[in-house]
């Protein structure tokens, strides 16, 4: 029996076994609701809690429709599964169960084994589609990736957007390949042994094509966010809004077979109810896992350094399985030479990087000069698999005025060192598409809005945001197609000198993480770390079952001497980023003795072990 068929989507237009449409629309303040198809206008029956329902054979998969409220307001379906004409057009009925899955043998691996690769479907491949991503899966497997993470794919205006302006959370972007295209991509990933994570946005809606306010009280004036009125998770009529987003979570897991969701900026979700909406989502996902007998993960982006988000429900936490942690990135970038301006001003460099390796959170109840207050709490009892770390991601690259990647900001040697610093951590490592070969194209902020006033506002806002950077030139026009095209990956760089060696280094580094238990282990207690601010060097030692791994990092621009720990008689080298085979300046000794003073090359990482795996 297919356990997926025992549960189904409860809102929008869906199809039962008899292929009749089951229509359920939430509009608690409407007096009348009709569904308008190309041929008919059909009234819905009012039910409890603001829902309107109808079962009809007038809609079939592929039928287009709108909802008519009170006989005068015509809007697309907020729970639409497809917008063939974009955000202002008609909705299209889709039978999500029509796709033939072949991933029955797939088993979502333990979260601790994830090596993540964040990508944007529109710029990752030449095609800019899900089909284009499928064409690169063998490359990702060869690299050593175990899970791809897609930036948001909910329908947005036009064909060019990061995805955070989505206004149809259930509809997969038509220009990427729609629902069937995403199902095909997930199925292909599972057949090759790759997990799939999807970035979803539940803290705000995009501005263009946003018809939620006309459908019902999806927003509240109780709170305000950077994007305007907050989504209504705890005000009058909030039950229907909460159910809407819970249904969205369940759909991605049940109907698209996704393995994990990354929930964008959960700190911006305003909910002061007794049960936070994240807790309710976690409970519902637990029930779905019982029904489908598959594991699913919830990964939150959260900048509050509050482990209640990632603590289990049994400990009165919110039940998220993991979180993105920007502080590791910030400490790493400052250690690598990033100017201490803006939010980087809170980070001292290598001593904070040392603390990040040890404690997860850097600001864990200490004073934050940038925030002018004591900030954060301790991550006690949380394993390393609950934290996702990176040296760059879409935000940290794309929110720069010129969208420069590490390849444009840092030396070749430093790029290898930062990769090693991430992949040697006891956390979940994530790469941002193209970093592994030193992609030189920027990743810029781009849009394709259709509203001229909105286009003007976005352009002016972007210029104002970077007014202090006028010496660096003009902020690129987000609306320009050239801005989008400049953000595409250059796959031909893989054939060029330097890029080939960097890719080889990444493959080797990922391979070592998988091969050696101490590197693959996300148990935070099985490590020691010490940093020397004077030399800008860090010594990280990790162990498991008698095997030890010693990671020596020199972030300075000078050759430095490091004294080897004395608890093992000798160490054998398994990685040297300064090796000439990776265009490095000089290889270190193949083996070293305890208490030996070792010379380590500038901006390099050395890894030794007491036992070959």
**328 annotated ligand-binding residue:** yes
Catalytic residue among 264, 346, 364, 576: 264
**399 annotated ligand-binding residue:** yes
**87 annotated ligand-binding residue:** no
**330 annotated ligand-binding residue:** yes
Which DSSP category does 284 fall into?
H
What letters, b where the CB count within 10 A reaches 16 and e where it falls short, cover 171-181? bbbbbbbbbeb
**586 annotated ligand-binding residue:** no
Residue by residue, what is the 3-state secondary structure of 143-196? HCCCEEEECCCEECCCCCCCCCCCCEEEEECHHHCHHHHHHHHHHHHHHHCCEE
How distant is the alpha carbon of residue 301 from its chain centre? Answer: 8
Q: What is the rounded CA–CA span in Å between residue 161 and residue 446?
A: 6
For 20-81, give the DSSP string: -EEEEEE-TT-S-EEEEESS-EEEPEE-GGGEEEEEESS--TT-EEEEEETTTEEE--TT-S
Do 417 and 577 meet the contact criterion of CB atoms below 8 Å apart? yes
**264 annotated ligand-binding residue:** yes
**Listed residue (123, 138, 110, 21) closest to 446, CA to CA:** 123
Q: Is 451 helix (H, G, I), strand (E, B) or coil?
A: coil
**321 annotated ligand-binding residue:** no
**397 annotated ligand-binding residue:** yes
Q: What is the rounded CA–CA span in Å between residue 421 and residue 399?
A: 23
Tokens of 14: 């869906």
Residue by residue, what is the 3-state secondary structure of 552-608? EEECCCCCEEEECCCCCCEEEEEEECCCHHHCCCCCCCCEEECCCEEEECCCEEEEE
**394 annotated ligand-binding residue:** yes
How distant is the alpha carbon of residue 282 from its chain centre? Answer: 18
Do 458 and 447 meet the contact criterion of CB atoms below 8 Å apart? yes
**70 annotated ligand-binding residue:** no
Q: What is the rounded CA–CA span in Å between residue 403 and residue 488?
A: 12
**584 annotated ligand-binding residue:** no
**Listed residue (354, 326, 311) closest to 527, CA to CA:** 354
Do 139 and 189 meet the contact criterion of CB atoms below 8 Å apart? no
**445 annotated ligand-binding residue:** no
Tokens of 390: 């990176």
458 conformational bin, left if phi > 0, alpha if psi -120 to 50, beta if neither: alpha
Do 154 and 201 meet the contact criterion of CB atoms below 8 Å apart? yes
**396 annotated ligand-binding residue:** yes
Catalytic site residue 53?
no
**Listed residue (574, 610, 4, 605) closest to 288, CA to CA:** 4
Neighbours of 245 (CB within 10 A): 20
Catalytic site residue 149?
no
Residues paired with 430 in a beta bridge: 116
- Tokens 């909460």 label which residue? 242
**Listed residue (575, 568, 558, 577) closest to 596, CA to CA:** 568
Residue by residue, what is the 3-state secondary structure of 245-276? HHHHHHHHHHHHCCCEEEECCHHHCCCCCCCC
Its sign, for the CA torsion 576, 396, 233, 373, is positive
Do 79 and 67 meet the contact criterion of CB atoms below 8 Å apart? no
Catalytic residue among 165, 301, 364, 439: 301
Tokens of 111: 């979260």
536 conformational bin, left if phi > 0, alpha if psi -120 to 50, beta if neither: left
**Residues marked as binding for substrate?**
262-267, 326-330, 394-399
Q: Which residues are catalytic?
A: 264, 301
**Residues marked as binding?**
262-267, 326-330, 394-399
């Amino acid at each position: 029996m297919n356990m997926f068929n025992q549960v189904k989507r409860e809102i929008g237009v869906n199809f039962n076994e008899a292929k009749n449409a089951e229509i359920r629309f939430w509009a608690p303040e409407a007096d009348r609701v009709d569904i308008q198809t190309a041929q008919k206008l059909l009234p819905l029956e009012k039910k409890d809690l603001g829902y309107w329902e109808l079962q009809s054979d007038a809609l079939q998969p592929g039928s287009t429709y709108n909802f008519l409220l009170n006989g005068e307001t015509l809007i697309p379906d907020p729970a639409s599964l497809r917008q063939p004409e974009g955000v202002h057009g008609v909705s299209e009925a889709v039978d999500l169960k029509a796709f033939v899955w072949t991933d029955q043998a797939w088993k979502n691996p333990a979260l601790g084994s994830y090596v993540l690769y964040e990508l944007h479907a529109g710029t990752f491949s030449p095609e800019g589609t899900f089909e284009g991503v499928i064409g690169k899966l063998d490359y990702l497997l060869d690299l050593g990736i175990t899970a791809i993470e897609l930036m948001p794919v909910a329908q947005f205006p036009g064909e060019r957007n990061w995805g955070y302006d989505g206004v149809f959370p259930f509809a997969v972007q038509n220009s990427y390949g729609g629902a069937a295209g995403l199902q095909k991509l997930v199925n292909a990933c599972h057949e090759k042994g790759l997990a799939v994570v999807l970035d979803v946005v539940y803290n705000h809606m995009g501005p263009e094509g946003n018809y939620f306010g006309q459908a019902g009280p999806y927003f509240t004036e109780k709170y305000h966010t950077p994007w305007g009125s907050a989504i209504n998770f705890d005000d009058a009529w909030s039950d229907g809004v909460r159910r809407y987003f819970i249904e969205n979570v369940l759909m991605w897991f049940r109907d698209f077979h996704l393995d994990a969701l990354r929930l964008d900026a959960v700190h911006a979700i305003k909910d002061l109810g007794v049960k936070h909406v994240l807790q309710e989502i976690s409970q519902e996902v637990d029930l779905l896992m019982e029904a489908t007998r598959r594991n699913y993960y919830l990964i939150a982006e959260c900048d509050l350094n509050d482990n209640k988000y990632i603590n289990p429900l049994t400990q009165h936490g919110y039940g998220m399985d993991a979180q993105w942690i920007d502080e590791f990135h910030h400490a790493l970038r400052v250690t690598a030479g990033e100017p201490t301006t803006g939010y980087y001003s809170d980070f001292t460099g290598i001593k904070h990087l040392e603390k990040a390796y040890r404690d997860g959170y850097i600001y864990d109840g200490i004073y934050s000069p940038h925030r002018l207050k004591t900030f954060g709490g301790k991550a006690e009892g949380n394993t390393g698999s609950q934290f996702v770390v990176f040296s760059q991601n879409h935000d940290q690259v794309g929110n720069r005025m010129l969208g420069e990647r590490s390849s444009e900001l840092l030396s070749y040697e430093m790029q290898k060192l930062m990769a090693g610093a991430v992949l040697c951590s006891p956390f979940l490592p994530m790469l941002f598409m193209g970093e592994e070969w030193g992609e030189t194209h920027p990743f810029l902020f781009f849009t394709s809005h259709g509203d001229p006033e909105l286009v003007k506002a976005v352009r002016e806002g972007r210029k104002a945001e970077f007014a202090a950077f006028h010496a660096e030139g003009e902020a690129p026009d987000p609306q320009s197609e050239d801005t989008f095209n400049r953000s595409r990956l250059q796959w031909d760089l893989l054939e060029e000198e330097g890029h080939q060696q960097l890719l080889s280094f990444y493959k080797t580094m990922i391979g070592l993480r998988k091969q050696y238990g101490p590197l693959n282990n996300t148990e935070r207690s099985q490590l020691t770390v010490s940093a020397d601010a004077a030399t800008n060097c860090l010594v990280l030692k990790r162990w498991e079952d008698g095997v030890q791994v010693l990671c020596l990092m020199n972030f300075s621009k000078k050759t430095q001497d490091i004294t080897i720990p004395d608890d093992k008689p000798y160490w054998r080298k398994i990685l040297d980023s300064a090796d000439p085979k990776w265009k490095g300046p000089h290889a270190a000794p193949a083996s070293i003795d305890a208490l030996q003073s070792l010379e380590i090359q500038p901006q390099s990482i050395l890894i030794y072990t007491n036992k070959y795996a």
